Structure 1
Amino acid sequence: MRTLIKILGLTLLLICLQACEEDEGNDLTGSVISISDIQGSWNATRAEFDIAGTGTSMAIDIVAAGGTVTLVIQSNGRFTLTITQTGQTPEISTGQMSFDEDLLVVEFDDSPGESEFFGIQSTATTLSINGQTEFDLDDDGTDDPARVELDFVRA
């Protein structure tokens, strides 16, 4: 009887661990979109970052200002985001994408354990991502909280 209780307890523990693992945001399928729908290479047609400061507002559309933004998404959710502002060195970010229902969950490699959540819309040839992130809008070397709206076309 004790052996049966130990086996049952171990089985329940393994089931709980599996359930917790699934809740960690590693789901490659959202309620509407999955990683398989958006994997591939994307070029931004709009990359707008803006922040409202005390009495002032700063905004930039990197693409409209002559820069480029590219996004490459692998089938396992790994991604590389390259932002190149005119006359500046490319800023490359990597990380892991997953879904929490209809939200895109992004964990950047330079901030392990911290997730950012974004709205996402996609068709076969377009991808739009929007939400809150950090970006150095005033070129002072420090990232500022910013709203981001990214519109991509499939490369």
Structure 2
Amino acid sequence: MKTFTYIFLTALISLTFSCNKDDDPEDVLTKDGRFPISELAGTWEATKAQFSVNTVSVDVVEDGGTASMSVQSNGRFTMTLDPVNRAAYTVSGEMFWEEWQNTFYFAITWDDYPDDWDTYGETFDGTTLTLNGGADTGEYDFDNDGDMEACSVHFIFVRS
């Protein structure tokens, strides 16, 4: 009887792992969603570049700094942030759409984290691009100690 139980449990575990199937369809990454990513090609200036975590919020532009972004037609971009009283820095990545259950989500893969992407709420009217990210969709050095802290982001860019 012990042999039968052992064989039965082994078969059951093997069957469980071999038949384990995710009911959700795989994520589909595309450049064509609610609008083609290529429509973002060009140079953008931020009117808002806000980073927030808990009760702390910093808007680089409101504080007198600048933020700009250059986007290629393939979705690759470079963003330069120049806060007041600290060195400017550049981040880069790639923009695309994540299609999931017949809905498109604006997504960014940051070059510092190439195997992952974050999704953002977005609006785009041809001349203004707004991006809103949830928790941990951005990083900012709030206390200027050289360590970036995870945060949420809110950007408003106008085409320049």
Same structural fold, with TM-score higher than 0.5 when normalized by the shorter chain: yes
Cα shift at 1:140: 2.2
Secondary structure of the residue aligned to 1:70 is: strand
TM norm structure 2: 0.74
Partner of 1:87: 85
Task: Choose the corresponding residue for 2:65, options 54, 64, 67.
Answer: 67
Which deviations, in whole Å up to 9, do the C-alpha atoms of 1:7-51 show, x marking residues without a partner? xxxxxxxxxxxxx8x83x2x1111x12212211110000111111
Partner of 2:131: 129
Partner of 2:149: 144
Asked if structure 1 preserves the Cα contact closer than 8 Å seen for 2:51 and 2:139, the reply is: no
Partner of 1:117: 119
CA distance in 1, matches of 2:105, 2:89: 25
TM norm structure 1: 0.76
CA distance in 1, matches of 2:158, 2:125: 9
Identity of aligned residues (%): 34
CA distance in 2, matches of 1:72, 1:142: 25
Q: Note the residue ranges of structure 2 that are not aligned, 5 or more in a row.
A: 1-25
Report how many residues are paired.
129
CA distance in 2, matches of 1:126, 1:112: 27
Partner of 1:41: 43
CA distance in 1, matches of 2:158, 2:58: 20
Cα shift at 1:89: 1.9
Q: Note the residue ranges of structure 1 that are not aligned, 5 or more in a row.
A: 1-19
Cα shift at 1:136: 1.7
Asked if structure 1 preserves the Cα contact closer than 8 Å seen for 2:46 and 2:156, the reply is: yes
Which deviations, in whole Å up to 9, do the C-alpha atoms of 1:61-96 show, x marking residues without a partner? 100101000011100111001111013221101111
CA distance in 1, matches of 2:152, 2:111: 20
CA distance in 1, matches of 2:86, 2:56: 19
The one-letter code sitting in structure 2 at the alignment partner of 1:134 is: E
CA distance in 1, matches of 2:122, 2:79: 16
Q: Which has the larger radius of gyration?
A: 2
Q: CA RMSD in A?
A: 1.8
CA distance in 1, matches of 2:142, 2:106: 23
